Amino acid sequence: MGGFLDQALNPLADALRVSGYRQQLLSANIANADTPNYKAVDIPFSKTLKAVQAGDQGGLALQTDNARQLAGSPASAGLAAFVHYQRGSQVGLDGNSVDMNREQASFLQNSVVYQADLTFLTGTIKTLNSVITGNVI
């Protein structure tokens, strides 16, 4: 049963994790719109999601050299490997590359994607619950 649940829920959980992380990056860009020398960053959503679903953590898994050390795998560290500086934005005299129009549009679009994934995940859970219990929703 666990394999079926993993198959049904993991892709949605991955999408929520990637879009949630992207939302953090876009929020940081907006918050730093007036910070001198701040460079706007982002992640390519589709490429990052495909890599996460394929099990690629961006090559940032913690390395150990002793069997007594914990290998660990920080959740957001893997996504940080996909962060890149945004291109095409005009850099101001203060060295800041945040384009507020672009950031706000990206933030809104990402919010819609996140909400859609969350709604779909909720629907999937309700459907699975009704199948398990035999109750019609």
Residue with tokens 């198959």, as numbered in its chain: 7
Q: Mean pLDDT of residues grouped by 10 in the chain (137 residues)?
A: 74 91 96 95 92 70 65 62 87 91 96 94 88 76
| Residue 38 tokens, joined | 């701040």
| pLDDT given at position 35 | 95
Q: How far apart are CA 127 and CA 136, in angstroms?
A: 9
pTM of this prediction? 0.78
Residues β-bridged to residue 64: none
Is residue 52 within 8 Å of residue 80, measured between CB atoms? no
Determine which helix (DSSP H) or strand (DSSP E) holds 34, and give its type and residue range: none
| pLDDT given at position 73 | 52
| pLDDT given at position 55 | 78
| pLDDT given at position 79 | 85
| pLDDT given at position 30 | 96
